[in-house]
Structure 1
């Protein structure tokens, strides 16, 4: 379960980095843009499949005991953060598929045409996709901040439970 968690986390971070820092710098009429979109969409599809696997595994796998932060609001949030991530990931991928389908991106990505349609990224779905990405990034920062709080302030060994501590 830990390996799956870290694999999905790494892929999500890679997709966010691609969309925020790599793709905006490539012109729409460049073949590199199609390649970048192809990679971004491939990562998204892999994340979708692994998210379903992770959701199923979470139902069948015993989880370690809950570590309280001592703050009721933070404990409530912590209990739901992975479910919120799952919902955001599914919404992100659905908006990406919708953006690609309605924006006419699939023919270029699958090699049927050599160019992307003009304005494919100027749709409402693109804005939704972008907003979800920003929300995922913010939730990720909150999640990492919570882990650091547990490890360095509460000193309760949370990082070791996540498979990141030295043995």
Structure 2
């Protein structure tokens, strides 16, 4: 069986995850990092961030499950063996980093007593997040995740714009439009 594109569920989850991961990275870097832990707005910002994190976890697990159950197209070679090897590493790293981010986020919430603060209606965190080792792991993980995402996007753009092998169409659930043949 020669599969041309990924399953539509995989495609939808891929782009949904891309949007949510970027939103979580932007939210944490440009919004949450500038809210002091003593500000009541910090807890609501963390809750929004955690909600996106839970959605990322669910969608990632669903994507991995669906990927095991569906066929996928064969790899498109770049013409550079080292880049093809790196592509495999990047794809696995994305999954691992997502789980590291979610795990460290859960640990941060638990060790900062966030559940207790929420249940008791407190307006500020009971622990300084920056002092937690889980925060350090979460921040480092976010930086590595951003770098790996840049490699992923760069590789996809290289395939699409330089090699012109239609790689991005494989991750779209819509059929690729046939190229018109030139009359001459």
State the partner residue of 1:126.
Answer: 135
SS in 2 for 1:121: helix
TM-score (structure 2 length as normaliser): 0.84
Paired positions, count: 167
Deviations along 1:24-76, whole A, 9 cap, x unmatched? 22222222211110000111111111111111111111111210001111111
Relative distance call for 1:3 and 1:110 in structure 2 (3 A) is farther
RMSD between superposed Cα atoms in Å: 1.8
The 1:58/1:15 distance shift into structure 2, 3 A limit, reads same
- 1:123-157 alpha-carbon deviations (Å, 9 max, x no partner): 11100011011111000000000011111111111
Mapped to 1, the partners of 2:47 and 2:119 lie a distance apart of 8
Match of 1:33 in 2: 42
Would the aligned equivalents of 1:96 and 1:129 in 2 still touch at CA under 8 Å?
Answer: yes
What TM-score does the superposition give when structure 1 sets the normalisation length? 0.92
Name stretches of at least 5 consecutive residues in structure 1 with no aligned partner.
none
Equivalent of 1:78, from 84, 87, 97? 87
- For residue 24 of structure 1, what is the aligned residue in structure 2? 33
Instruction: Give the CA deviation at 1:111.
Output: 5.5
Identify the residue that residue 75 of structure 2 maps to in structure 1.
66
Aligned-partner Cα distance in 2 for 1:162–1:47: 18
Whether the 8 Å CA contact 2:40–2:123 is kept in 1: the answer is yes
C-alpha contact (below 8 Å) 2:37/2:129 kept by paired residues: no
71-80 or 106-115, which deviates more: 106-115
Larger RCO (CA under 8 A, 6+ residues apart): 2
**Which structure is larger by alpha-carbon Rg, 1 or 2?**
2
CA separation of 1:125 and 1:80: change in aligned 2, threshold 3 A: same
